[in-house]
Amino acid sequence: MRPVSRGSLVWRVLAAVALVVLLVNGSLRMEDDAWPFGPMSQYAFSPPEDDTVVITRVDGLLTDGRRVELPLRVETAGISRAEIEARIPAIEADPSLLRAVSDGWVARNPTSPRPVELFLVQDETRLHRGQPTSTSKVTLAQWRVVP
């Protein structure tokens, strides 16, 4: 068996206690910003039975006149839905931030027609007594692509 000195044991126990304290503190008082010592806040909220569920998407009007969804995934647009959702207020204030999606999409779809205008939209699904009823589409921002 490998020996362990008293000092080496003491710092280990203290470090483990510190880890637990930081983690619990994160869950009690901090926000996601404090990662890795923030709260485990995924899905930690309580939607009511008549909530409106929103899904954020980006549509592109292409040079050939079609309006298509530019799927918000790393492999298709270089950025995922969660990142765009997290920046909705910023994009509404400055729609040119949608350039991230058009640049990412053009780089990954070089042979497709380019988007000339981008739309930040949300599908709003209304719940009634916990059952999805109607869905409507709302446009939050739009931006004419500047080459």
Q: Which residues bind another protein (CB under 8 A)?
A: 1-9, 12-13, 15-17, 19-20, 23-24, 26-28, 32-36, 38-49, 51, 53, 55, 74, 78-80, 82-83, 85-87, 90, 97, 100, 103-104, 125, 127, 129-132
Cα 129 from chain centroid (whole Å): 27
Residue showing tokens 């006149």: 65
Nearer to another protein, 8 or 111 (CB): 8
How far apart are CB 33 and another protein at their closest, in Å?
A: 5
How far apart are CB 14 and another protein at their closest, in Å?
A: 9
Q: What single string gives the DSSP state of each residue in 8-56?
A: HHHHHHHHHHHHHHHHHHHHHH--GGGTTSS---TT-S---TT-EEEEE
